[in-house]
Amino acid sequence: GAVVSQHPSRVICKSGTSVKIECRSLDFQATTMFWYRQFPKKSLMLMATSNEGSKATYEQGVEKDKFLINHASLTLSTLTVTSAHPEDSSFYICSASRLAGGHNEQFFGPGTRLTVL
């Protein structure tokens, strides 16, 4: 159990277009989901915390108008990269939080590799 999927796994887009990435918890309900980005050979950087039915909480330095997050249901959160530019090319990873063994454990998706031309 506790599987998190992401779609698409890879996407290539032209500069100036918007890209939507979906994160789904397949076998559990997640009131909280998280979005990270990771540049090559770097660590994961938390972008935002997504709570079902409310506005996302963004980390310092992350533009909320650039990275739109919607958490419409307990199993789905989406990240839309608006007006993408080459510097937005990165590996985007989501996670979903679930109570397991007495603590809230984060289960991570497989990631989405975005390339902006």
Footprint of other proteins on this chain (CB under 8 A)?
4, 6, 32, 34, 36, 43-46, 49, 91, 93, 95, 97, 103-111, 113
The CA distance from 95 to 33, in Å, is 5
CB of 60 to other proteins, least distance (A): 12
Residue whose C-alpha is closest to residue 72's, from 57, 56, 58, 52: 52
Cα–Cα distances in angstroms (integers) from residue 82 to residues 17, 62, 66, 68, in the given order: 7, 13, 5, 7
CB of 108 to other proteins, least distance (A): 3
CB-wise, 52 or 82, nearer to other proteins? 52
CB-wise, 70 or 106, nearer to other proteins? 106
CB-wise, 8 or 16, nearer to other proteins? 8
Give the position of tokens 């510097």.
Answer: 87
